[in-house]
């Protein structure tokens, strides 16, 4: 049975560590999500790790290759609790994997309904809170935003919104 452990990565080395761990026969899990940032007066979307600086690695129960993992290029250290390396709860990893697609990108939250309050996660209206007005047959989400005192109807990608808290 495979047990999952948490490893800390060296700065910006998630691709390198993942490649080297897989080359050694380890299974890795790195959940990713879309992040929009502003660069040179443009909005740029890119996939970034959900937990920056950390990755999950699966290892067999009997093998316990801690030194091999710790000495992998791109890996800083295996996260331990006290002096022992304890596996993470399998329910946690299973739930995270269930929320991701085949490439490891986190899928959107459950279905939205008209009238729901949502937060825009990407694009020029990032961090705005809006109300879902309609969802058409093409799965486009139309929201109403308060822009300068006026209600504006805006179309957003369903992957770029989440329910507001």
The string of pLDDT tens digits covering residues 10-59 is 999 999 999 999 999 899 999 998 887 888 888 888 888 989 999 999 88
The model's pTM = 0.65
CA distance 143 to 131: 5
Where along the chain do the CATH 2.30.30.30 domains lie?
Answer: 117-163
Span(s) in the chain for CATH 3.30.70.940: 2-98
How does strand 54-60 pair with strand 42-49?
A: unpaired
Q: pLDDT tens-digit profile of 96-116?
A: 888 788 888 887 655 778 888
Domain with residues 2-98, CATH architecture: 2-Layer Sandwich (3.30)
CA end-to-end span of the chain, whole Å?
A: 38
Please tell me the predicted confidence (pLDDT) of residue 9.
95
CA-angle at 2, arms to 55 and 74, nearest 5°: 25
Would you tell me how many other CB atoms lie within 10 Å of the CB of residue 65? 16
Contact 57, 5 (CB under 8 A): yes
Region 150-155: mean pLDDT is 87
Convert the pLDDT of each residue in 46-84 to its tens digit.
Answer: 888 989 999 999 887 665 678 888 899 999 998 887 777
pLDDT score recorded for residue 61: 67
- Domain 117-163 listed as CATH 2.30.30.90: no
pLDDT at 99: 78
* Residues 129, 117: Cα–Cα separation, whole Å: 7
Instruction: Look at residue 137 and tell me whether its pLDDT is greater than 80.
Output: no
């Amino acid at each position: 049975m495979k047990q999952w452990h948490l490893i800390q990565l060296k700065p910006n080395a998630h691709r390198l560590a993942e490649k080297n761990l897989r080359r050694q026969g380890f299974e890795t899990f790195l959940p990713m999500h879309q992040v929009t940032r502003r660069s040179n007066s443009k909005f740029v979307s890119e996939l970034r790790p959900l937990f920056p600086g950390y990755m999950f690695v699966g290892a067999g129960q009997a093998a316990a290759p801690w030194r091999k993992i710790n000495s992998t290029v791109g890996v800083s250290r295996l996260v331990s609790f006290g002096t022992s390396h304890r596996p993470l709860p399998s329910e946690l990893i299973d739930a995270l994997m269930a929320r991701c697609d085949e490439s490891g990108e986190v899928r959107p939250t459950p279905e939205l309904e008209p009238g729901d309050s949502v937060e825009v996660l990407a694009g020029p209206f990032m961090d705005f809170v809006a109300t879902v007005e309609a969802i058409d047959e093409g799965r486009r989400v139309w929201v109403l935003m308060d822009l300068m005192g006026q209600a504006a109807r805006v179309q957003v990608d369903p992957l770029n919104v989440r329910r507001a808290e």
